[in-house]
């Protein structure tokens, strides 16, 4: 029985650490995605044809390929990139954590770019024209008038994207990021298959708890940034 | 350019695909003059206003504000636009900013005034259009007439040399139209140079120095209100005026 207590304590700590890593991976990927998606969505809306085309290609590639393939490209693929040019000594070795955040973040940027783009298009062209008629430059009008409002409209879409990235984060298990699923697997292995649901069910519940938490945070943001009179009142 | 003409438009052409919306339009506006442009829908009145400050860049032709050429690629368009107030048919207020925010944003972002000075000036302009009690409200909390008055105050705050109005009252019901027209009349009396696209014949009669009748991208007639309204030379002008007086009253 002493062993069981030890085992439970060890397991709880491991899962707790894993949960923290899951949160860090998710938040870092979302932030990277956000930082990339802002210029992407603006370029896709206001850029010239070639720029729009390149961004469309980028979005299409990262949305259209399995995220796990993207992860493998960043982690394994880049180590072998030299072989493509007959120079096996040349390799780009990205450690697991940055590779995981790059893969999830870049993938997320493709989705977030689309979220922002639809919001940008929801802001009337007249508001942009009005800003220009006051003498604002192109970028000033886009950023201070159009994009701030687009961000506000993007909150529901971002809420969704955040939960998707959260639930995609377990694929980083495959490059040995010590996130929650990796920890769960470790516990199952160390118990030599005697526990299974005992580990997976709590882990699922923690994922669900994080989902609820993230939804709640975005809901609070949504409420805080409400524009008076502009949206339906909450009942 | 003679110093009397504040705005000079020469041979302006704009095409959307095969549709020639402006067909070599030329006209001038004198300092302090109020010009009302009338004409059937789709004859290029709004396009003309937008081409004047290059919100829609014209295909051909030239436009000068005083001696600065707006259509010259080398002029600083953002600089010149500060001197051309523009009032939109559907108000085009910035929805995320209060009435005050709408009026002051151009002052600190474009004119680089301090926040305090911008606020002071914005309060003055909103008071001028009778909105001193609604300054903290957001566009969605204001009536159409109030929104349009914020739009006018926003333009006026930049101290423009000329004001353009693109059908400023056509999205408003008659009661709200009145409050906007009153503001515009006051503005005209204060000596502001104005180019107004509108169907408000009563306003044109009372305030305009000139009425311009446009059709199919051309200026058909141009003269003082009494001449155009009573003795239009062209049958087409008379027919149009007859129709809109039936619709909008005298």
Q: Which of B27, B20, B5 is nearest to B58 (CA)?
A: B20
% of chain A at pLDDT higher than 70:
97
The 3-state DSSP class for residue B218 equals strand
Tell me what pLDDT residue A33 has: 98
Tokens representing residue A54 in the block: 């390149």
Distance CA A10, CA A195 (A): 14
The pTM of the full predicted model, rounded to 2 decimals, is: 0.87
* pLDDT-wise least confident of A67-71, A108-112, A230-234, B103-107: A230-234
The residue of chain A with its CA nearest to that of B103 is A134
Which of A123, A126, A136 has the CB atom closest to B90's CB atom? A126
DSSP B76-106: -HHHHHTTEEEE-TT----TTS-HHHHHHHH
Do the Cβ atoms of B93 and A136 come within 8 Å?
no
What is the pLDDT averaged over residues B43-69?
94
- Report the C-alpha gap between B9 and B50 in whole angstroms: 12
pLDDT at A54: 97
* pLDDT tens digits, A92-151: 889 999 999 999 999 999 999 999 999 999 999 999 999 999 999 999 999 999 999 999
Q: How far apart are the first and last CA of chain A?
A: 53
Facing residue for A148 by CB, picked from B53, B96, B110: B96
Mean local confidence (pLDDT), B27-53 = 93
Q: Of the candidates B14, B22, B39, which has an alpha carbon nearest to the alpha carbon of residue B204?
A: B39
Torsion of CA B195, B196, B201, B206, to 10 degrees: -50
E-assigned strand segments in chain A: none
Rounded (5°) CA angle B11-B15-B16:
160
- Residue A230's pLDDT is 73
CA distances from A121 to A57, A116, B92 (A): 20, 9, 15
Give the span between the Cα atoms of B132 and A207, in whole angstroms: 52
Asked whether the predicted pLDDT for residue B72 surpasses 50, the reply is yes
pLDDT band at B1 (very low <50, low <70, confident <90, very high): very low
Q: What is the mean pLDDT of chain A?
A: 92
B84 lies within 8 A of chain A by CB = yes
- Joined together, the tokens standing for residue B186 give 């006051």
Q: What is the pLDDT of residue A234?
A: 56
Query: What's the confidence (pLDDT) of residue A6?
Result: 87
Lowest mean pLDDT among A56-65, B26-35, B237-246: B237-246
* Band (A231; pLDDT cuts 50, 70, 90): low
Between CA B52 and CA B71 the distance in angstroms is 9
Q: How far apart are CA B55 and CA B116, in angstroms?
A: 30
As a whole number of angstroms, the distance between CA A141 and CA A146 comes to: 7
Q: Could you read off the pLDDT of B158-202 as tens digits, one per residue?
A: 999 999 999 999 889 888 999 999 999 999 999 999 999 998 888
Chain A hits for B50, CB-CB cut-off 8 Å, are 129
pLDDT at A88 over 90: no
Question: What pLDDT score does A105 carry?
Answer: 98
- Nearest residue to B144 via CA among B183, B171, B174, B178: B171
B248 has pLDDT over 80:
no
The answer, yes or no, to whether residue B2 has pLDDT greater than 50, is no
Q: Angle of helix A197-224 relative to helix A148-168, nearest 10 degrees?
A: 180
Break chain B down into helix, strand, coil percent, rounded to 5. Answer: 40, 25, 35
* Of B36, B10, B4, the residue nearest B195 (C-alpha): B36
Residue-level pLDDT at B104: 97
Q: Which residues of B touch A148 (CB under 8 A)?
A: 96
SS3 A117: helix
B105: confidence class by pLDDT, cuts 50, 70, 90: very high
Q: What is the pLDDT of residues A163-178, one digit of tens each?
A: 999 999 999 999 999 9
Residue A147 with chain B: CB contacts under 8 Å:
none
Distance, in Å, from the CA atom of A142 to the CA atom of A136, rounded to the nearest integer, reads: 9
Give per-residue pLDDT as tens, B125-143: 999 999 999 999 999 999 9
Across chain B, mean pLDDT equals: 92
B65, two tokens: 């504000």
Name B20's bridge partners. B15
CB contact under 8 A, B155 and A124: no
pLDDT at A125: 92
pLDDT of res. B250: 59
Chain A environment of B55 (Cβ under 8 Å) = 129, 132-133
Considering only CA atoms, which of B194, B230, B185, B232 is closest in space to residue B213?
B232
The confidence band for A25, taking pLDDT boundaries of 50, 70 and 90, is very high
Retrieve residue A142's tokens: 């886009």
Q: At A2, is the pLDDT very low, low, confident or very high (cuts 50, 70, 90)?
A: low
Q: Please report the number of interchain residue pairs, chain A to chain B, with beta-carbon separation below 8 angstroms.
A: 82
Domain positions in chain B: 5-248
Average pLDDT over residues B22-29: 94
In DSSP terms, A54 is beta-bridged to none
Go through B36-73 and write b for each residue having 16 or more CB atoms within 10 A of its CB, e for each that does not.
bbbbbeebbbbbbbbbbbbbbebeebebbbbeebbbee
Three-class secondary structure of residue B1 per DSSP: coil
Q: What is the CATH number of domain B5-248?
A: 3.40.50.300
């Amino acid at each position: 029985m002493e062993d069981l207590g030890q085992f439970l304590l060890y397991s709880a700590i491991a899962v707790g650490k894993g949960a923290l890593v899951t949160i860090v991976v998710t938040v870092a990927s979302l932030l990277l995605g956000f930082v990339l998606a802002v210029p992407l969505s603006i370029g896709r809306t206001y850029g010239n044809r070639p720029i729009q085309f390149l961004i469309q290609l980028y979005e299409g590639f990262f949305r259209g390929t399995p995220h796990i393939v993207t992860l493998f490209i960043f982690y394994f693929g880049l180590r072998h990139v030299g072989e493509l040019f007959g120079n096996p000594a040349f390799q780009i070795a990205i450690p697991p954590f940055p590779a995981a955040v790059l893969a999830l973040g870049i993938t997320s940027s493709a989705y977030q770019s689309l979220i922002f783009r639809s919001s940008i298009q929801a802001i009337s062209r007249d508001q942009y024209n009005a800003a220009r008629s006051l003498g604002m430059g192109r970028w000033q009008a886009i950023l201070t008038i159009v994009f701030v409002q687009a961000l506000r409209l993007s909150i529901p879409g971002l809420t969704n994207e955040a939960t998707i990235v959260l639930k995609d984060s377990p694929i980083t298990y495959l490059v040995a990021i010590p996130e929650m699923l990796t920890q769960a697997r470790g516990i199952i292995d160390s118990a030599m298959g005697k526990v299974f649901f005992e580990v997976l069910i709590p882990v699922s519940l923690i994922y669900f708890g994080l989902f609820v938490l993230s939804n709640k945070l975005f809901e609070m943001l949504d409420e805080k940034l409400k524009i008076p009179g502009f949206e339906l009142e909450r009942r | 350019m003679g110093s009397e003409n504040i705005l000079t438009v020469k041979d302006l052409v704009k095409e959307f695909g095969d549709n020639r919306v402006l067909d070599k339009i030329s006209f001038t506006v004198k300092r302090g003059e109020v010009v009302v442009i009338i004409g059937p829908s789709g004859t290029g009145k709004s396009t003309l206003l937008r081409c004047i400050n290059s919100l829609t860049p014209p295909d051909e032709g030239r436009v000068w504000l005083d001696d600065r050429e707006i259509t010259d690629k080398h002029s600083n368009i953002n600089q010149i636009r500060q001197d051309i107030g523009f009032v939109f048919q559907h108000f085009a207020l910035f929805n995320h900013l209060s009435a005050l925010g709408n009026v002051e944003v151009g002052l600190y972002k474009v004119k680089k005034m301090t926040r305090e000075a911008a606020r002071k000036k914005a309060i003055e302009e909103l008071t001028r259009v009778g909105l001193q009690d609604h300054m903290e409200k957001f566009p969605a909390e204001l009536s159409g007439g109030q929104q349009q008055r914020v739009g006018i105050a926003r333009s006026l705050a930049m101290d423009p040399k000329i004001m353009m109005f693109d059908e400023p009252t056509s999205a408003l019901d008659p009661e709200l139209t009145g409050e906007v027209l009153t503001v515009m009349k006051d503005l005209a009396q204060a000596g502001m140079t104005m180019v107004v696209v509108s169907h408000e014949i009563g306003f044109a009669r009372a305030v305009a120095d000139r009425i311009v009748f446009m059709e199919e991208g051309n200026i058909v007639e141009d003269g003082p209100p009494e001449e155009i309204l009573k003795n239009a030379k062209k049958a087409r002008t008379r027919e149009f005026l007859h129709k809109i007086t039936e619709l909008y009253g005298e």
